[in-house]
């Protein structure tokens, strides 16, 4: 059984999820969210009759702060952290990650993500593609799925896949939208990663942003379509504006028009933006096209 924990990021519901699994050898968490959500997780575990130290294994899909920024707290409480080989060094020494994030978030860093501390190397386990981790009666398989980030892993358990960001964001009955932050967006790799998930034939996807979806085929088909729609919009419109702020404002209007055409409420639109701010996708997709032009 999978328990979805809503960390209520910035007081917004259904923006960031963590997933709790009970194995015969302790609790398993997939994703931690940022450390600002740690108190909510502790409270939720207590409500279920557990202690935070009952979490023995933590699987992160990638090292972006909304997914693993709080992993160090679980490690300090004795949990082992499972991560992509390319992400491990940033958990062991997060200074480069923090420096990169500060360029994007500036003085909002602490407010958004809270403290970020080193994780003891002994508490970190890297996982190769298709490697299986056995925890009592629970088997979790690693699917290396770059495109959103080079160090991205989707975790498979039976016929369920915890997809991180590679399967996009979908909140309630809203559409699936991609998250395209810098610096590693690669649309070709992303498409290939979506195909990796399709070949696994999962019955459902668990999305960090947010929850569970069972209509897997249509979900992933729609994701591919809108991923390229956004990328091509950025490519087409980039030269129309003098600066990135103007481009971002117009892109946000473009996304707003799409969401409003689906009769989404303002509240739901704000939930999407809490999980996936439009300015992040502008920066990521611009970087993608600039890199393509240099190749």
Question: Over the stretch 187-205, which tens digit does the pLDDT of each residue have?
Answer: 999 999 999 999 999 999 9
Kindly report the average pLDDT of the chain as a whole number: 94
pLDDT band, very low/low/confident/very high, at 85 (cuts 50, 70, 90)? very high
Residue 109: what pLDDT? 87
Please report, rounded to a whole number, the percentage of residues in the chain having pLDDT higher than 90: 80
Q: Note the pLDDT of residue 23.
A: 93
Q: What's the chain's Rg over C-alpha atoms?
A: 18
Domain with CATH 3.60.15.10 in the chain: 2-173+184-214
Confidence of residue 146 (pLDDT cuts 50, 70, 90): very high
Question: pLDDT tens, 98-119?
Answer: 888 887 788 888 888 999 999 9
Q: Is the pLDDT of residue 276 over 90?
A: no
Answer yes or no: are the C-beta atoms of 167 and 220 closer than 8 Å.
yes
Sign of CA pseudo-dihedral 106, 119, 79, 57: positive
- Number of alpha helices (DSSP H) and beta strands (DSSP E) in the chain: 11, 12
For residue 209, what pLDDT is reported?
94
DSSP three-state, residue 138: strand
How far apart are the C-alpha atoms of 83 and 127, rounded to whole Å?
A: 6
Q: Is 66 exposed, middle or buried (0-12, 13-18, 19+ CB in 10 A)?
A: buried
Q: How confident is the model at residue 294 (pLDDT cuts 50, 70, 90)?
A: confident
pLDDT at 293: 80
Percentage of the chain surpassing pLDDT 70? Answer: 100
* Prediction pTM value: 0.94
Average pLDDT over every residue of 167-186: 93
Name the pairing type of β-strands 211-213 and 204-207: antiparallel
Q: Does the domain spanning 2-173+184-214 belong to CATH 3.60.15.10? A: yes
Confidence grade of residue 18 (pLDDT, cut at 50, 70, 90): very high
pLDDT of residue 275: 82
pLDDT band for position 295 (cuts 50, 70, 90)? low
Q: Please name every residue paired with 32 in a beta bridge, in sequence order, or none if there are none.
A: none
Sign for the CA dihedral angle at 134, 138, 139, 144 comes to negative
Instruction: Evaluate whether 87 touches 109 at the Cβ level (below 8 Å).
Output: no
The two three-digit tokens of residue 56, written as one number: 């023995």
Q: Taking a C-beta distance cutoff of 8 angstroms, is the pair 62, 31 a contact?
A: no
How many Å from the N-terminal Cα to the C-terminal Cα in the chain?
46
Structure tokens at 120: 């003891």
Residue 249 has pLDDT above 80, yes or no: yes
Residue 121 banded pLDDT, cuts 50, 70, 90: very high
Give pLDDT, residue 217.
95
Residue 1 reports pLDDT greater than 90:
no
Q: Is 201 left (phi over 0), alpha (psi -120 to 50) or beta?
A: left
**pLDDT value, residue 145:** 98
Mean predicted confidence (pLDDT) in 21-25: 93
Task: State yes or no: pLDDT of 65 exceeds 70.
Answer: yes
């Amino acid at each position: 059984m999978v328990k979805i924990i809503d960390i209520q990021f910035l007081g917004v519901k259904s923006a960031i999820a963590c997933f709790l699994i009970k194995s015969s050898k302790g609790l398993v968490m997939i994703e931690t969210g940022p450390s600002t959500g740690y108190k909510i997780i502790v409270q939720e575990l207590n409500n279920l009759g557990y202690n935070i130290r009952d979490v023995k294994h933590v699987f992160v899909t990638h090292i972006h702060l909304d997914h693993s920024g709080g992993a160090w707290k679980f490690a300090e409480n004795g949990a082992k952290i499972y991560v992509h080989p390319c992400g491990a060094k940033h958990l062991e020494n997060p200074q480069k990650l923090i420096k990169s994030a500060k360029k994007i978030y500036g003085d909002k860093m602490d407010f958004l993500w809270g403290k970020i501390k080193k994780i003891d190397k002994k508490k970190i386990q890297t996982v190769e593609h298709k490697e299986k981790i056995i925890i009592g009666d629970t088997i979790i398989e690693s699917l290396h799925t770059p495109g959103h980030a080079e160090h991205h892993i989707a975790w498979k358990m039976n016929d369920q896949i915890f997809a991180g960001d590679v399967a996009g964001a979908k909140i309630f009955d809203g559409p699936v939208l991609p998250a395209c932050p810098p610096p590693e967006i690669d649309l070709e790799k992303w498409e290939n990663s979506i195909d990796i998930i399709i070949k696994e034939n999962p019955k459902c996807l668990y999305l960090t942003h947010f929850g569970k979806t069972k209509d897997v085929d249509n979900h992933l088909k729609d994701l591919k379509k809108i991923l390229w729609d956004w990328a091509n919009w950025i490519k087409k419109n980039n030269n129309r504006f003098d600066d990135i702020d103007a481009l971002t404002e117009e892109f946000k209007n473009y996304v707003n028009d799409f969401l409003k055409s689906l009769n989404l409420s303002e509240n739901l639109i704000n939930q999407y933006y809490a999980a996936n701010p439009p300015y992040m996708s502008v920066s990521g997709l611009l970087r993608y096209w600039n890199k393509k032009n240099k190749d």
